[in-house]
Amino acid sequence: EENGHQDKRLKRDADEEDAEDRNKKSPKRKIVLLMAYSGKGYHGMQRNVGSSQFKTIEDDLVSALVQSGCIPEDHGEDMKKMSFQRCARTDKGVSAAGQIVSLKVRLIDDILEKINNHLPSHIRILGLKRVTGGFNSKNKCDARTYSYMLPTFAFAHKDHDVQEEVYRLDRETLEKVNKLLACYKGTHNFHNFTSQKGPRDPSAKRYIMEMYCGEPFVRENVEFAVIKVKGQSFMMHQIRKMIGLVIAIVKGYAADSVIERSWGEEKVDVPKAPGLGLVLERVHFEKYNRRFGNDGLHEPLEWTEEEEKIAVFKEQYIYPTIINTEREEKSMANWLNTLSIHDFNSSAVGMQANNKNSK
């Protein structure tokens, strides 16, 4: 029996030495992972170490990286050790079809399969590419494209009594929506579209390349449409507020001129559309691709081969979540009922004075 125990101990010691040898043989390499996830039930992408009650996408990702043997356990506790960087910090409930993270890992065999085996089905790693040692997915990203899927009854005028399942968006309203969305193109001061910036903060200036609403389509008897927006970078809640203001104008709660006024220094009351329909579609690395994409050592960060997997994931996890949650929780319908309490005509200072007087 004693010999048996000794044999087991020797075997365990040998296994541990083998694992160490393997780790020495597979040095860490800088890579990017292409991620897709359904964000419902998560408090955004970014991990908050030490606050376990708010579960994030990165909590599940880091756990899968450790369990699959790509990174040592202590790297999970201190993400700087693996040079981890996410390209975009998606907010609570927001999904992604083309999120990119950069990090150093051990390039083990069947790495994608092994990571995915330790992830829930609504989070998938769809692709992997080697990148330069100094690559940082946030700093090297030139632009981000988001989509926002919403039921089209959101655009019905407030004075019309609308049955949600019967409503269909007419051509004239769609044209008005697109005319308003186009006003956001170019560089503007978006301080009114986030809660964190003052009017003179230079970082509130953001550059929007395109923004438009596509053709409507019907799912589960309700008509939906998808708004696409491509910009250099976005601030917290910025896209939801940009869409919220357009909805308020199309519904007749606010004048068209509010958009123009919001670029100025005064505080404008801008409503924030629900987070449910927002999806990070793709991130763009045009400068990096021009410099390193064809240097013979690195691949361009384009995901043509993964397009089909991305489309399948959206159909399987992202769209059904948005549609079913909208039907069950009515997040858009409930939010539309709050638009009447916003004051689009006066500045915030005026509103505070009015509130004091009414009190």
Give me the tens of pLDDT residue by residue for the chain, a chain 359 residues long. 445 555 555 555 555 555 555 555 567 899 999 999 999 999 989 987 766 678 999 999 999 999 999 999 888 788 888 999 999 888 888 999 999 999 999 999 999 999 999 999 999 999 999 999 889 999 999 999 999 999 999 999 999 888 888 999 999 999 999 999 999 999 999 999 998 889 999 999 999 999 999 999 999 899 999 999 999 999 999 999 999 999 999 999 999 999 999 999 999 999 999 999 999 999 999 999 999 988 888 889 999 999 999 999 999 999 999 999 999 999 999 999 999 999 988 654 444 444 444 44
The first and second tokens of residue 227, run together, are 């708004």
Which are the catalytic amino acids? 91
**Pair (151, 93) in one structural domain:** no
| Residue 291 domain flag | no
Residue in the structure block whose two tokens are 């990174």? 71
Question: Cα–Cα distances in Å, from 94 out to 118, 131, 306?
Answer: 22, 27, 21
Contacts of 304 (CB under 8 A, 6+ apart): none
**Pair (186, 275) in one structural domain:** yes
- d(Cα 187, Cα 136) in Å, to the nearest integer? 25
Residue 178: give its domain's CATH number. Answer: 3.30.70.660
Residue 64: give its domain's CATH number. Answer: 3.30.70.580
**Pair (86, 233) in one structural domain:** no
Q: Which residue ranges are tagged as binding site?
A: 146
The first and second tokens of residue 24, run together, are 């020495």
The last residue of a domain, from among 106, 140, 174: 140
**Pair (103, 241) in one structural domain:** no
**Pair (115, 255) in one structural domain:** no
**Pair (188, 329) in one structural domain:** yes
- Whole-prediction pTM value? 0.85
What's the pLDDT score for residue 233? 92
**Pair (190, 112) in one structural domain:** no
**Pair (223, 269) in one structural domain:** yes
What's the pLDDT score for residue 353? 45
Are 92 and 272 within 8 A, CB to CB? no
**Pair (164, 245) in one structural domain:** yes
- Domain tally, the chain: 2
- 13 alpha carbon, distance to own chain's centre: 45
| Residue 45 domain flag | yes
Are 243 and 271 within 8 A, CB to CB? no
Specify the DSSP class assigned to residue 1.
-
**Pair (274, 228) in one structural domain:** yes
What's the pLDDT score for residue 52? 67
How many CA within 13 A on the CB side of residue 185? 11
**Pair (193, 320) in one structural domain:** yes
* Secondary structure of residue 267 in the 3-state scheme: coil
**Pair (88, 188) in one structural domain:** no
256: region left, alpha or beta (phi > 0 left; psi from -120 to 50 alpha):
alpha
Range of the domain at 103: 26-140
